[in-house]
Structure 1
Amino acid sequence: MPPLSSGLLGALDSTSDRAVFRQIADQLREAIDKGRFAEGDKLPSETELIEHYGVSRMTIRNSISVLQGEGLVASEHGKGVFVRPRPPVRRLASDRFARRHREQGKSAFTVEAEAVGGHSEVDSLVVREEKPSQDIATRLGGARKVLARRRRYLLDGRPVEFAVSYLPLDLARNTQIAEPNPGPGGIYARLEELGHRLDHFDEEISARMPTPEEIKTLRLASGVPVIHLIRTAYDTEGRPVEVCDTLMAADAYVLAYQLPAT
Protein backbone atom coordinates (compact mmCIF):
# COMPACT_ATOMS: atom_id res chain seq x y z
CA MET A 1 0.00 0.00 0.00
CA PRO A 2 1.44 3.42 -0.93
CA PRO A 3 2.10 5.83 1.97
CA LEU A 4 -0.76 8.17 2.80
CA SER A 5 1.48 11.10 1.95
CA SER A 6 1.41 9.93 -1.70
CA GLY A 7 -2.05 11.39 -2.17
CA LEU A 8 -3.94 8.16 -1.51
CA LEU A 9 -6.17 10.15 0.85
CA GLY A 10 -6.78 13.88 1.02
CA ALA A 11 -7.02 16.42 3.81
CA LEU A 12 -9.99 17.43 5.92
CA ASP A 13 -12.01 20.50 5.02
CA SER A 14 -12.04 22.70 8.12
CA THR A 15 -14.74 24.93 6.57
CA SER A 16 -17.20 22.07 6.00
CA ASP A 17 -20.16 21.58 8.32
CA ARG A 18 -19.96 17.82 7.63
CA ALA A 19 -18.79 15.85 10.66
CA VAL A 20 -15.09 14.98 10.60
CA PHE A 21 -15.67 11.23 10.86
CA ARG A 22 -18.01 11.39 7.86
CA GLN A 23 -15.44 13.36 5.83
CA ILE A 24 -12.92 10.62 6.53
CA ALA A 25 -15.44 7.94 5.61
CA ASP A 26 -16.17 9.83 2.38
CA GLN A 27 -12.49 9.87 1.45
CA LEU A 28 -12.00 6.20 2.19
CA ARG A 29 -15.14 5.32 0.24
CA GLU A 30 -13.96 7.34 -2.74
CA ALA A 31 -10.56 5.63 -2.61
CA ILE A 32 -12.29 2.24 -2.67
CA ASP A 33 -14.67 3.23 -5.46
CA LYS A 34 -11.79 4.50 -7.60
CA GLY A 35 -9.70 1.39 -7.02
CA ARG A 36 -6.99 2.98 -4.91
CA PHE A 37 -7.87 0.25 -2.43
CA ALA A 38 -8.78 -2.88 -4.36
CA GLU A 39 -10.90 -5.79 -3.18
CA GLY A 40 -9.04 -7.62 -0.44
CA ASP A 41 -6.67 -4.72 0.25
CA LYS A 42 -5.98 -3.74 3.82
CA LEU A 43 -6.90 -0.20 4.76
CA PRO A 44 -4.39 2.00 6.61
CA SER A 45 -4.21 1.17 10.30
CA GLU A 46 -5.95 3.25 12.92
CA THR A 47 -2.57 4.70 13.93
CA GLU A 48 -1.77 5.70 10.34
CA LEU A 49 -5.15 7.34 9.89
CA ILE A 50 -4.85 9.15 13.23
CA GLU A 51 -1.47 10.55 12.20
CA HIS A 52 -2.67 11.48 8.71
CA TYR A 53 -5.81 13.31 9.79
CA GLY A 54 -4.76 14.48 13.25
CA VAL A 55 -7.90 13.15 14.93
CA SER A 56 -8.76 10.84 17.82
CA ARG A 57 -8.94 7.07 17.66
CA MET A 58 -12.68 7.19 18.31
CA THR A 59 -13.16 9.45 15.25
CA ILE A 60 -11.34 6.92 13.05
CA ARG A 61 -13.36 4.05 14.49
CA ASN A 62 -16.58 5.93 13.78
CA SER A 63 -15.45 6.43 10.17
CA ILE A 64 -14.66 2.74 9.74
CA SER A 65 -18.02 1.87 11.33
CA VAL A 66 -19.77 3.87 8.59
CA LEU A 67 -18.01 1.85 5.89
CA GLN A 68 -18.76 -1.42 7.67
CA GLY A 69 -22.41 -0.44 7.85
CA GLU A 70 -22.38 0.09 4.09
CA GLY A 71 -20.86 -3.35 3.54
CA LEU A 72 -17.70 -1.93 1.95
CA VAL A 73 -15.16 -3.20 4.47
CA ALA A 74 -14.81 -5.98 7.00
CA SER A 75 -12.73 -6.08 10.15
CA GLU A 76 -10.60 -9.13 10.93
CA HIS A 77 -9.59 -9.34 14.58
CA GLY A 78 -5.87 -8.85 15.03
CA LYS A 79 -5.29 -8.29 11.32
CA GLY A 80 -6.99 -5.05 10.35
CA VAL A 81 -9.76 -3.74 8.13
CA PHE A 82 -10.04 -5.02 4.56
CA VAL A 83 -12.01 -4.05 1.46
CA ARG A 84 -14.73 -6.65 0.99
CA PRO A 85 -14.78 -8.60 -2.28
CA ARG A 86 -18.02 -8.09 -4.17
CA PRO A 87 -18.26 -10.63 -7.01
CA PRO A 88 -21.13 -9.58 -9.29
CA VAL A 89 -23.53 -12.09 -10.80
CA ARG A 90 -25.11 -10.44 -13.78
CA ARG A 91 -28.72 -11.53 -14.17
CA LEU A 92 -29.97 -11.01 -17.70
CA ALA A 93 -33.73 -11.19 -17.34
CA SER A 94 -34.36 -11.41 -21.06
CA ASP A 95 -31.96 -14.32 -21.45
CA ARG A 96 -31.37 -16.37 -18.33
CA PHE A 97 -34.48 -18.54 -18.77
CA ALA A 98 -34.09 -18.94 -22.52
CA ARG A 99 -35.10 -22.39 -23.75
CA ARG A 100 -31.75 -22.89 -25.46
CA HIS A 101 -30.07 -23.01 -22.03
CA ARG A 102 -32.41 -25.74 -20.83
CA GLU A 103 -31.81 -27.67 -24.02
CA GLN A 104 -28.09 -27.45 -23.27
CA GLY A 105 -28.75 -28.88 -19.83
CA LYS A 106 -27.98 -25.63 -17.98
CA SER A 107 -29.93 -24.04 -15.15
CA ALA A 108 -30.39 -20.27 -14.93
CA PHE A 109 -27.86 -19.95 -12.10
CA THR A 110 -25.25 -21.91 -14.06
CA VAL A 111 -25.72 -19.53 -16.98
CA GLU A 112 -25.29 -16.53 -14.68
CA ALA A 113 -22.16 -17.95 -13.05
CA GLU A 114 -20.56 -18.83 -16.37
CA ALA A 115 -21.19 -15.27 -17.61
CA VAL A 116 -18.76 -13.96 -14.96
CA GLY A 117 -16.35 -16.89 -15.16
CA GLY A 118 -17.45 -18.30 -11.81
CA HIS A 119 -18.06 -21.78 -10.44
CA SER A 120 -21.61 -22.53 -9.30
CA GLU A 121 -22.71 -24.92 -6.55
CA VAL A 122 -25.94 -25.81 -4.78
CA ASP A 123 -26.12 -26.89 -1.15
CA SER A 124 -28.54 -26.99 1.78
CA LEU A 125 -31.01 -28.79 -0.49
CA VAL A 126 -34.33 -29.88 1.03
CA VAL A 127 -37.21 -31.30 -1.04
CA ARG A 128 -40.55 -32.04 0.60
CA GLU A 129 -44.32 -31.91 0.25
CA GLU A 130 -46.08 -29.25 2.30
CA LYS A 131 -49.07 -26.97 2.64
CA PRO A 132 -48.31 -23.59 1.06
CA SER A 133 -48.83 -20.17 2.60
CA GLN A 134 -51.92 -18.29 1.46
CA ASP A 135 -49.80 -16.06 -0.78
CA ILE A 136 -48.10 -18.99 -2.53
CA ALA A 137 -51.40 -20.86 -2.87
CA THR A 138 -52.99 -17.82 -4.51
CA ARG A 139 -50.10 -17.38 -6.92
CA LEU A 140 -50.43 -21.06 -7.88
CA GLY A 141 -54.13 -20.76 -8.62
CA GLY A 142 -55.37 -22.13 -5.31
CA ALA A 143 -53.04 -25.11 -4.90
CA ARG A 144 -53.63 -26.85 -1.57
CA LYS A 145 -50.47 -28.93 -1.52
CA VAL A 146 -47.10 -28.19 -3.10
CA LEU A 147 -43.71 -29.70 -3.59
CA ALA A 148 -41.17 -27.29 -2.11
CA ARG A 149 -37.53 -27.29 -3.20
CA ARG A 150 -35.25 -25.28 -0.88
CA ARG A 151 -31.65 -24.68 -1.85
CA ARG A 152 -28.75 -22.29 -1.41
CA TYR A 153 -26.59 -21.19 -4.34
CA LEU A 154 -22.87 -20.56 -4.05
CA LEU A 155 -20.60 -18.68 -6.44
CA ASP A 156 -16.95 -19.67 -6.07
CA GLY A 157 -17.80 -21.02 -2.62
CA ARG A 158 -19.61 -17.90 -1.43
CA PRO A 159 -23.37 -18.05 -0.64
CA VAL A 160 -25.14 -15.48 -2.81
CA GLU A 161 -28.72 -16.70 -3.08
CA PHE A 162 -31.32 -18.78 -1.26
CA ALA A 163 -34.40 -19.92 -3.17
CA VAL A 164 -37.55 -21.96 -2.59
CA SER A 165 -39.48 -23.28 -5.57
CA TYR A 166 -43.11 -24.23 -5.01
CA LEU A 167 -44.84 -26.48 -7.57
CA PRO A 168 -48.40 -27.84 -7.55
CA LEU A 169 -48.16 -31.30 -6.09
CA ASP A 170 -50.26 -32.86 -8.87
CA LEU A 171 -47.56 -31.77 -11.35
CA ALA A 172 -44.46 -32.69 -9.39
CA ARG A 173 -45.26 -35.78 -7.32
CA ASN A 174 -43.60 -39.00 -8.52
CA THR A 175 -41.54 -37.15 -11.14
CA GLN A 176 -37.86 -36.32 -11.35
CA ILE A 177 -38.74 -32.86 -10.04
CA ALA A 178 -39.25 -34.51 -6.63
CA GLU A 179 -35.72 -35.91 -6.71
CA PRO A 180 -32.77 -34.01 -5.16
CA ASN A 181 -31.22 -33.75 -8.62
CA PRO A 182 -33.94 -32.95 -11.18
CA GLY A 183 -31.53 -33.56 -14.05
CA PRO A 184 -30.04 -31.44 -16.87
CA GLY A 185 -31.76 -28.10 -17.36
CA GLY A 186 -33.38 -28.20 -13.92
CA ILE A 187 -37.07 -28.24 -13.04
CA TYR A 188 -38.10 -26.10 -16.01
CA ALA A 189 -36.74 -28.69 -18.42
CA ARG A 190 -38.67 -31.40 -16.56
CA LEU A 191 -41.89 -29.36 -16.62
CA GLU A 192 -41.64 -28.98 -20.38
CA GLU A 193 -40.98 -32.70 -20.78
CA LEU A 194 -44.20 -33.27 -18.82
CA GLY A 195 -46.12 -31.21 -21.38
CA HIS A 196 -46.09 -27.84 -19.64
CA ARG A 197 -44.26 -25.75 -22.21
CA LEU A 198 -43.30 -22.49 -20.55
CA ASP A 199 -44.78 -19.32 -21.96
CA HIS A 200 -43.66 -16.46 -19.68
CA PHE A 201 -42.48 -15.45 -16.22
CA ASP A 202 -43.75 -12.70 -13.93
CA GLU A 203 -41.27 -11.24 -11.44
CA GLU A 204 -41.71 -8.95 -8.45
CA ILE A 205 -38.57 -7.38 -6.96
CA SER A 206 -38.08 -5.54 -3.69
CA ALA A 207 -35.18 -4.76 -1.36
CA ARG A 208 -34.88 -4.74 2.42
CA MET A 209 -32.49 -5.40 5.26
CA PRO A 210 -32.06 -9.09 6.15
CA THR A 211 -33.22 -10.93 9.24
CA PRO A 212 -30.60 -12.47 11.59
CA GLU A 213 -31.30 -15.91 10.09
CA GLU A 214 -30.85 -14.58 6.55
CA ILE A 215 -27.57 -12.93 7.54
CA LYS A 216 -26.38 -16.32 8.77
CA THR A 217 -27.60 -18.22 5.70
CA LEU A 218 -26.00 -15.86 3.17
CA ARG A 219 -23.04 -14.92 5.41
CA LEU A 220 -23.80 -11.25 4.90
CA ALA A 221 -21.56 -8.48 6.16
CA SER A 222 -22.99 -5.72 8.30
CA GLY A 223 -25.04 -3.25 6.30
CA VAL A 224 -25.60 -5.45 3.24
CA PRO A 225 -29.27 -5.55 2.16
CA VAL A 226 -31.01 -8.35 0.33
CA ILE A 227 -32.97 -8.43 -2.91
CA HIS A 228 -36.28 -10.29 -2.63
CA LEU A 229 -37.53 -11.67 -5.92
CA ILE A 230 -40.71 -13.67 -6.43
CA ARG A 231 -41.09 -15.28 -9.85
CA THR A 232 -44.13 -17.09 -11.20
CA ALA A 233 -43.76 -19.36 -14.23
CA TYR A 234 -46.73 -19.91 -16.56
CA ASP A 235 -47.24 -22.53 -19.22
CA THR A 236 -48.79 -21.90 -22.63
CA GLU A 237 -52.24 -22.72 -21.22
CA GLY A 238 -51.88 -19.86 -18.74
CA ARG A 239 -51.49 -22.13 -15.73
CA PRO A 240 -48.99 -21.08 -13.03
CA VAL A 241 -46.69 -24.08 -12.69
CA GLU A 242 -44.05 -22.75 -10.28
CA VAL A 243 -43.46 -19.94 -7.83
CA CYS A 244 -39.85 -19.27 -6.89
CA ASP A 245 -39.25 -17.18 -3.76
CA THR A 246 -35.64 -15.98 -3.90
CA LEU A 247 -33.43 -14.00 -1.56
CA MET A 248 -30.17 -12.60 -2.95
CA ALA A 249 -27.19 -10.83 -1.42
CA ALA A 250 -27.54 -7.34 -2.90
CA ASP A 251 -23.78 -6.79 -3.15
CA ALA A 252 -23.40 -9.85 -5.39
CA TYR A 253 -25.91 -9.00 -8.10
CA VAL A 254 -26.57 -6.63 -10.94
CA LEU A 255 -30.11 -6.85 -12.27
CA ALA A 256 -29.98 -6.02 -15.98
CA TYR A 257 -33.13 -5.89 -18.09
CA GLN A 258 -33.96 -5.11 -21.68
CA LEU A 259 -37.38 -3.49 -21.99
CA PRO A 260 -39.22 -2.79 -25.25
CA ALA A 261 -39.93 0.85 -26.04
CA THR A 262 -43.20 0.13 -27.84
Structure 2
Amino acid sequence: MPTSEDETGPIYRVIADKLRKSIITGELVDGQRVPGENELMRRYGVARATARQALRTLIDEGIVTPVRGSGNFVRSFRPVRRHAPKRLSAELWGRGRPIWDADAGDRTVEVDNVSVREVRPPEHVARALDLPESATTVRRQRRYLVDNRPLQLATSYLPAELARGDGAVLTAVDTGPGGIYARLDELGSAPAHFTEELRVRMPGPHEAEALSLAPGTPVIEVVRTALTAHQQAVELNEMVLDGSAHVLAYDFDA
Protein backbone atom coordinates (compact mmCIF):
# COMPACT_ATOMS: atom_id res chain seq x y z
CA MET A 1 0.00 0.00 0.00
CA PRO A 2 1.25 3.57 -0.61
CA THR A 3 2.54 5.13 2.57
CA SER A 4 4.72 7.98 1.34
CA GLU A 5 5.46 10.03 -1.70
CA ASP A 6 7.88 8.31 -4.08
CA GLU A 7 8.43 7.99 -7.81
CA THR A 8 4.75 7.07 -8.24
CA GLY A 9 3.64 10.53 -7.12
CA PRO A 10 1.62 11.79 -4.14
CA ILE A 11 -0.33 9.17 -2.22
CA TYR A 12 -3.73 10.70 -2.97
CA ARG A 13 -2.96 10.54 -6.68
CA VAL A 14 -1.97 6.87 -6.48
CA ILE A 15 -5.30 6.10 -4.78
CA ALA A 16 -7.19 8.20 -7.35
CA ASP A 17 -5.43 6.34 -10.18
CA LYS A 18 -6.48 2.98 -8.73
CA LEU A 19 -10.10 4.08 -8.40
CA ARG A 20 -10.05 5.54 -11.91
CA LYS A 21 -8.72 2.26 -13.29
CA SER A 22 -11.55 0.39 -11.54
CA ILE A 23 -14.04 2.66 -13.30
CA ILE A 24 -12.39 2.35 -16.71
CA THR A 25 -12.21 -1.46 -16.52
CA GLY A 26 -15.82 -1.73 -15.37
CA GLU A 27 -15.07 -3.03 -11.90
CA LEU A 28 -17.00 0.01 -10.69
CA VAL A 29 -19.95 0.77 -12.99
CA ASP A 30 -22.11 3.81 -13.61
CA GLY A 31 -24.21 4.63 -10.55
CA GLN A 32 -22.22 2.38 -8.20
CA ARG A 33 -21.03 3.76 -4.89
CA VAL A 34 -17.30 4.48 -4.71
CA PRO A 35 -15.38 3.49 -1.56
CA GLY A 36 -15.71 6.30 0.96
CA GLU A 37 -13.12 8.08 3.06
CA ASN A 38 -13.25 5.57 5.93
CA GLU A 39 -12.80 2.59 3.62
CA LEU A 40 -9.92 4.24 1.77
CA MET A 41 -8.26 5.07 5.09
CA ARG A 42 -8.47 1.42 6.16
CA ARG A 43 -7.49 0.01 2.77
CA TYR A 44 -4.44 2.22 2.22
CA GLY A 45 -3.44 3.21 5.73
CA VAL A 46 -3.72 6.94 5.01
CA ALA A 47 -5.09 9.96 6.81
CA ARG A 48 -8.59 11.23 6.18
CA ALA A 49 -7.27 14.31 4.37
CA THR A 50 -5.45 12.08 1.89
CA ALA A 51 -8.51 9.91 1.24
CA ARG A 52 -10.63 13.01 0.81
CA GLN A 53 -8.17 14.51 -1.68
CA ALA A 54 -8.17 11.31 -3.74
CA LEU A 55 -11.95 11.41 -4.01
CA ARG A 56 -11.90 15.13 -4.75
CA THR A 57 -9.56 14.47 -7.69
CA LEU A 58 -12.11 12.16 -9.31
CA ILE A 59 -15.00 14.50 -8.51
CA ASP A 60 -13.15 17.38 -10.18
CA GLU A 61 -12.60 15.18 -13.23
CA GLY A 62 -16.34 14.60 -13.45
CA ILE A 63 -16.19 10.79 -13.27
CA VAL A 64 -17.39 10.64 -9.66
CA THR A 65 -20.27 12.69 -8.31
CA PRO A 66 -21.08 13.32 -4.63
CA VAL A 67 -24.61 12.80 -3.35
CA ARG A 68 -25.25 14.55 -0.06
CA GLY A 69 -25.90 12.09 2.72
CA SER A 70 -25.28 9.04 0.50
CA GLY A 71 -21.65 9.09 -0.61
CA ASN A 72 -19.83 9.31 -3.92
CA PHE A 73 -20.98 7.51 -7.06
CA VAL A 74 -19.51 6.61 -10.44
CA ARG A 75 -20.56 8.97 -13.21
CA SER A 76 -19.46 6.98 -16.22
CA PHE A 77 -21.24 7.85 -19.45
CA ARG A 78 -20.67 7.11 -23.14
CA PRO A 79 -20.42 10.57 -24.71
CA VAL A 80 -22.88 11.63 -27.37
CA ARG A 81 -21.14 12.22 -30.70
CA ARG A 82 -22.66 15.41 -32.06
CA HIS A 83 -22.13 15.79 -35.81
CA ALA A 84 -23.68 19.12 -36.78
CA PRO A 85 -23.87 18.61 -40.58
CA LYS A 86 -25.64 15.24 -40.21
CA ARG A 87 -28.06 16.30 -37.47
CA LEU A 88 -29.11 19.46 -39.34
CA SER A 89 -29.47 17.85 -42.76
CA ALA A 90 -32.86 18.22 -44.44
CA GLU A 91 -32.57 14.52 -45.26
CA LEU A 92 -33.21 13.92 -41.55
CA TRP A 93 -35.85 16.40 -40.42
CA GLY A 94 -37.33 16.58 -43.93
CA ARG A 95 -38.34 12.94 -43.53
CA GLY A 96 -40.01 13.60 -40.22
CA ARG A 97 -37.15 12.40 -38.01
CA PRO A 98 -35.89 14.34 -34.98
CA ILE A 99 -32.36 15.72 -35.35
CA TRP A 100 -31.34 13.78 -32.23
CA ASP A 101 -31.55 10.58 -34.32
CA ALA A 102 -28.17 11.55 -35.78
CA ASP A 103 -26.62 11.80 -32.30
CA ALA A 104 -28.18 9.19 -30.10
CA GLY A 105 -28.81 6.23 -32.41
CA ASP A 106 -30.64 3.59 -30.40
CA ARG A 107 -30.20 5.39 -27.08
CA THR A 108 -33.19 6.75 -25.18
CA VAL A 109 -33.84 10.46 -25.75
CA GLU A 110 -36.37 12.42 -23.72
CA VAL A 111 -37.40 16.07 -23.73
CA ASP A 112 -38.76 17.73 -20.61
CA ASN A 113 -39.21 21.14 -19.00
CA VAL A 114 -40.76 22.42 -22.24
CA SER A 115 -41.94 26.02 -22.15
CA VAL A 116 -43.34 27.97 -25.13
CA ARG A 117 -44.16 31.67 -24.83
CA GLU A 118 -44.40 34.76 -26.99
CA VAL A 119 -41.89 37.28 -25.63
CA ARG A 120 -40.01 40.41 -26.48
CA PRO A 121 -36.60 39.17 -27.59
CA PRO A 122 -33.32 40.17 -25.97
CA GLU A 123 -31.44 42.76 -28.01
CA HIS A 124 -28.91 40.31 -29.44
CA VAL A 125 -31.72 37.98 -30.56
CA ALA A 126 -33.63 40.78 -32.28
CA ARG A 127 -30.44 41.78 -34.04
CA ALA A 128 -29.66 38.23 -35.18
CA LEU A 129 -33.21 37.75 -36.51
CA ASP A 130 -33.22 41.24 -38.04
CA LEU A 131 -36.47 42.16 -36.28
CA PRO A 132 -38.01 45.62 -35.98
CA GLU A 133 -38.06 47.18 -32.52
CA SER A 134 -41.72 46.34 -31.86
CA ALA A 135 -41.50 42.69 -32.97
CA THR A 136 -41.96 39.72 -30.65
CA THR A 137 -40.65 36.17 -30.81
CA VAL A 138 -41.82 32.69 -29.95
CA ARG A 139 -39.43 31.40 -27.31
CA ARG A 140 -39.15 27.62 -27.00
CA GLN A 141 -37.24 26.30 -23.97
CA ARG A 142 -36.55 22.63 -23.24
CA ARG A 143 -34.11 20.14 -21.74
CA TYR A 144 -32.82 16.99 -23.42
CA LEU A 145 -31.94 13.76 -21.61
CA VAL A 146 -30.09 10.76 -23.07
CA ASP A 147 -30.35 7.47 -21.18
CA ASN A 148 -32.01 9.41 -18.33
CA ARG A 149 -29.08 11.81 -17.98
CA PRO A 150 -29.70 15.53 -18.68
CA LEU A 151 -27.28 16.64 -21.38
CA GLN A 152 -28.52 19.83 -22.98
CA LEU A 153 -30.59 22.94 -22.39
CA ALA A 154 -31.95 24.74 -25.44
CA THR A 155 -33.75 28.03 -26.01
CA SER A 156 -34.99 28.80 -29.52
CA TYR A 157 -36.34 32.13 -30.71
CA LEU A 158 -38.47 32.39 -33.85
CA PRO A 159 -40.09 35.53 -35.31
CA ALA A 160 -43.65 35.59 -33.93
CA GLU A 161 -45.02 36.56 -37.34
CA LEU A 162 -44.13 33.06 -38.56
CA ALA A 163 -46.42 31.61 -35.87
CA ARG A 164 -49.55 33.36 -37.11
CA GLY A 165 -52.33 31.45 -38.90
CA ASP A 166 -51.02 28.13 -40.22
CA GLY A 167 -47.80 28.75 -38.32
CA ALA A 168 -49.54 28.43 -34.94
CA VAL A 169 -48.13 24.90 -34.76
CA LEU A 170 -44.79 26.53 -33.92
CA THR A 171 -46.26 27.43 -30.52
CA ALA A 172 -47.25 23.84 -29.70
CA VAL A 173 -45.28 21.87 -27.13
CA ASP A 174 -45.00 19.01 -29.64
CA THR A 175 -44.55 20.40 -33.15
CA GLY A 176 -44.81 16.99 -34.80
CA PRO A 177 -42.51 14.80 -36.96
CA GLY A 178 -39.31 16.57 -37.94
CA GLY A 179 -39.82 19.33 -35.37
CA ILE A 180 -39.85 23.05 -36.08
CA TYR A 181 -37.62 22.77 -39.16
CA ALA A 182 -40.14 20.52 -40.89
CA ARG A 183 -42.93 22.93 -39.92
CA LEU A 184 -40.94 25.91 -41.24
CA ASP A 185 -40.50 24.00 -44.49
CA GLU A 186 -44.27 23.55 -44.75
CA LEU A 187 -44.69 27.31 -44.20
CA GLY A 188 -42.30 28.12 -47.05
CA SER A 189 -39.45 29.18 -44.75
CA ALA A 190 -37.32 26.05 -44.77
CA PRO A 191 -33.85 26.39 -43.25
CA ALA A 192 -31.26 26.09 -46.00
CA HIS A 193 -28.13 27.23 -44.17
CA PHE A 194 -26.95 27.11 -40.57
CA THR A 195 -24.20 28.85 -38.67
CA GLU A 196 -22.95 27.76 -35.25
CA GLU A 197 -20.64 29.48 -32.81
CA LEU A 198 -19.19 27.58 -29.86
CA ARG A 199 -17.45 28.52 -26.66
CA VAL A 200 -16.51 26.65 -23.51
CA ARG A 201 -17.26 28.19 -20.13
CA MET A 202 -18.21 27.31 -16.60
CA PRO A 203 -21.95 26.92 -15.93
CA GLY A 204 -24.11 29.24 -13.93
CA PRO A 205 -25.91 27.86 -10.84
CA HIS A 206 -29.17 27.22 -12.71
CA GLU A 207 -27.36 25.41 -15.54
CA ALA A 208 -25.33 23.26 -13.15
CA GLU A 209 -28.50 22.24 -11.32
CA ALA A 210 -30.57 21.59 -14.46
CA LEU A 211 -27.81 19.44 -16.01
CA SER A 212 -26.80 17.76 -12.71
CA LEU A 213 -23.20 18.77 -13.34
CA ALA A 214 -20.40 17.64 -11.06
CA PRO A 215 -18.30 20.46 -9.58
CA GLY A 216 -15.70 21.69 -12.04
CA THR A 217 -17.55 20.45 -15.14
CA PRO A 218 -17.56 23.00 -17.98
CA VAL A 219 -20.36 23.50 -20.47
CA ILE A 220 -20.24 24.06 -24.21
CA GLU A 221 -22.37 26.98 -25.34
CA VAL A 222 -23.59 26.65 -28.93
CA VAL A 223 -25.43 29.48 -30.68
CA ARG A 224 -27.05 28.44 -33.95
CA THR A 225 -28.77 30.61 -36.53
CA ALA A 226 -31.01 29.01 -39.16
CA LEU A 227 -31.42 30.89 -42.44
CA THR A 228 -33.59 30.32 -45.50
CA ALA A 229 -32.26 30.12 -49.06
CA HIS A 230 -32.88 33.89 -49.23
CA GLN A 231 -30.73 34.44 -46.11
CA GLN A 232 -33.69 35.24 -43.88
CA ALA A 233 -32.98 34.25 -40.27
CA VAL A 234 -35.87 32.13 -38.99
CA GLU A 235 -34.43 30.80 -35.72
CA LEU A 236 -31.77 31.59 -33.16
CA ASN A 237 -31.07 28.66 -30.86
CA GLU A 238 -28.94 29.02 -27.73
CA MET A 239 -27.81 25.65 -26.39
CA VAL A 240 -25.88 24.68 -23.27
CA LEU A 241 -24.26 21.23 -23.41
CA ASP A 242 -22.68 19.16 -20.65
CA GLY A 243 -19.02 19.43 -21.67
CA SER A 244 -18.13 16.04 -20.16
CA ALA A 245 -20.76 14.16 -22.17
CA HIS A 246 -20.26 15.34 -25.74
CA VAL A 247 -17.84 14.80 -28.60
CA LEU A 248 -18.26 17.48 -31.28
CA ALA A 249 -17.50 16.05 -34.72
CA TYR A 250 -16.87 17.99 -37.94
CA ASP A 251 -15.68 17.03 -41.38
CA PHE A 252 -15.08 19.29 -44.36
CA ASP A 253 -13.08 19.48 -47.55
CA ALA A 254 -9.69 21.18 -47.73
Partner of 1:119: 108
Unaligned regions of 5+ residues in structure 1, if any?
Answer: 1-9
Could you give the per-residue CA deviations for residues 7-57 of structure 1, whole angstroms, max 9, x where no partner exists? Answer: xxx746733495432343344334434545333343334344224433101
- Three-state SS of the structure 2 residue aligned to 1:112 is helix
Partner of 2:37: 46
1:58 equivalent in alignment to 2:52: no
Q: Distance in 2 between matches of 1:110 and 1:140?
A: 27
Q: Distance in 1 between matches of 2:116 and 2:30?
A: 37
121, 125, 136: which one pairs with 1:132?
Answer: 121
Q: Distance in 2 between matches of 1:13 and 1:260?
A: 53
Partner of 1:154: 145
Partner of 1:172: 163
Partner of 1:220: 213
Contact 2:2 2:14 in 1 (8 A): no
Alignment root-mean-square deviation, CA: 2.3
Change beyond 3 A, Cα 1:200–1:100: same
- Three-state SS of the structure 2 residue aligned to 1:127 is strand
Partner of 2:231: 238
Change beyond 3 A, Cα 1:123–1:91: same
- Three-state SS of the structure 1 residue aligned to 2:100 is helix
Unaligned regions of 5+ residues in structure 2, if any?
Answer: none
- Three-state SS of the structure 1 residue aligned to 2:6 is coil
Q: Distance in 2 between matches of 1:43 and 1:77?
A: 14
Identity %: 40
Q: Distance in 1 between matches of 2:4 and 2:46?
A: 13
Change beyond 3 A, Cα 1:237–1:70: same
Query: TM-score, normalised on structure 1?
Result: 0.85
Contact 2:225 2:236 in 1 (8 A): yes
Q: CA deviation at 1:80?
A: 4.0
Q: Distance in 2 between matches of 1:58 and 1:50?
A: 9
Q: Distance in 1 between matches of 2:160 and 2:67?
A: 47
Is the deviation greater in 44-53 or in 160-169? 44-53
Q: Distance in 1 between matches of 2:240 and 2:160?
A: 23
Q: Distance in 1 between matches of 2:9 and 2:226?
A: 49
Q: Distance in 2 between matches of 1:17 and 1:100?
A: 53
Q: CA deviation at 1:168?
A: 1.3
Partner of 2:243: 250
Q: Distance in 2 between matches of 1:135 and 1:14?
A: 54
- Three-state SS of the structure 2 residue aligned to 1:243 is strand
Contact 2:3 2:45 in 1 (8 A): no
Contact 2:224 2:237 in 1 (8 A): yes
21, 31, 53: which one pairs with 2:12?
Answer: 21
Q: Distance in 1 between matches of 2:253 and 2:23?
A: 35
Residue 62 of structure 1 aligns with an amino acid whose one-letter code is: Q
Contact 1:147 1:173 in 2 (8 A): no
Q: CA deviation at 1:214?
A: 1.0
Q: Distance in 2 between matches of 1:38 and 1:230?
A: 34
